[in-house]
Amino acid sequence: MKFFSFWRSLASFRVRIALNLKNVPTEVVFVDLDANAHRDPEYRRINPQMALPALVEDDGTTLFQSLAISNISTRNTPPRRCCRRYQRPRPRPCAGADGRLRGTSLLVPRVRRYLDHELNLRDTQQAAWRRHWIVETLAALEGHLAGHKDTGKFCHADAPTLADICMVGHVTVAVTQQIDLKIYPTVKRIFETAMALPEFARAHPLAQPDTPEAMRKS
């Protein structure tokens, strides 16, 4: 299986966690978005939409979209093994997925480009835009999770699910933007619990083979 990844792509981050949790071995191909490698004819043959990530299975089936990959990329692995640590989330913890829908889709590069080139927003306006949607999503997540009977060590009970994968991506962006998590105590606790797991920690954007040296976690 080939997994096309970029260190600071949030969607790649989500898939890396899922693949780690499911213990799926992949050959990782690094696609340098900063060098426009996703626009190369070579990658366009893999994904004509030129978006990351992509997963090419051994039979040639190609999957895009991090949630689809995270959900199904283990169909060829022994179920017992892949289900041990990673379960399909039950409905409510879609809180995490909802987090992705609400906030992250407003922070992706093509929206940034529109704000920049079409609306000519100043840097301070762009920073305010980012902050607004990050904070709104954190508040929604905290509202979903705090005090809910199904919330456990993780978003849903005591094992990581897709909800945690989505949440961790969003919170990582918030941390990068130096947003204080103190007023989102449930989110903060679950984020820290998840990031303490090696499967999450190893997937972190700043810990990848293609992370620039200067950005790398010490």
Name the residues that contact its own copies, by CB under 8 A: 48-49, 63-65, 67-69, 71-72, 91-92, 94, 97-98, 101-102, 105-106, 110-111, 114, 118-119, 121, 125, 128-129, 132, 136, 140, 143-144
Task: Report how far residue 174's alpha carbon sits from residue 138's, in angstroms, rounded to the nearest whole number.
Answer: 8
| Cβ partners under 8 Å of residue 204, min gap 6 | 13, 172, 195, 217
- The Cα–Cα gap between 80 and 3 comes to 23
The least CB distance from residue 188 to its own copies, in Å, is 20
At position 169, the amino acid (one-letter code) is G
Q: Which residue's CB is nearer to its own copies, number 34 or number 118?
A: 118
